[in-house]
Amino acid sequence: MARIDPVAPEAMSPELKTLLDTRPPYNIYRILANAPTALPGFVQLAGALLTRSELDPQLREMVILRVGAHCRSAYEIHQHLRLARHVGVSEERIARAMNLADAADGESLEDRMLAFTDSVVLSVKAPADQFDALRAHLSPRGITELLMTIGTYMMVSRVLENLEVEIEQDGVDIAGKAYYPAPANG
């Protein structure tokens, strides 16, 4: 049970209710509705990072899973496991993103993004060599969006864990909804 009560739809302002009617019916939104002036900005930021980012969707989801694993956020991991599968991330790559013992010290963009994520989560500022290695693969926009994705999902994970937001039990499934882009192969 969450540490604070979710806001019932009938208790929301018409504007907030209209906003949430465009989102999947996730518990996180009803909990975050307790901060009605912040929720619209959060929805806009998260939506931009998930649907209009320059980052490859598979790599983005691996980064979010890595952040969720570092933060031990069951809710975040649950939601983004589904989204990772939806955008075509293999089970092997999902396991790799979730395995914090995997140092991700290779030369691929995937390795570099996971190592960079580890550094940002654990040390705040990534070492110069990791930052410079990303420049060979990502534009300034991509690097900025990567940092914003890491930071946003660190915040989300901390809110979820501290408020003990419960994972939905009603079979809510994003894959069949129009809330997010179609899968890479579909």
Asked if 152 and 63 count as a contact pair (C-beta separation under 8 A), the reply is: no
* CA gap 107, 112 in Å, rounded: 7
Give the integer Cα–Cα distance in Å for 69 and 114.
12
What single letter denotes the amino acid at residue 139?
S
Cα 44 to Cα 34, 152, 175: the distances in Å are: 17, 12, 20
The string of pLDDT tens digits covering residues 142-172 is 999 999 999 999 999 999 999 999 998 755 5
Domains and CATH numbers, the chain: 9-163 (1.20.1290.10)
Query: pLDDT tens digit string along 173-186?
Result: 554 443 444 444 44
pTM: 0.89
pLDDT at 12 over 90: yes
List C-alpha distances in Å: 111 to 14, 21, 50, 52, 133: 45, 38, 21, 23, 11
pLDDT in tens, 16-57: 999 999 888 899 999 999 999 999 999 999 999 999 999 999
Q: Please report the pLDDT score of residue 171 as a whole number.
A: 54
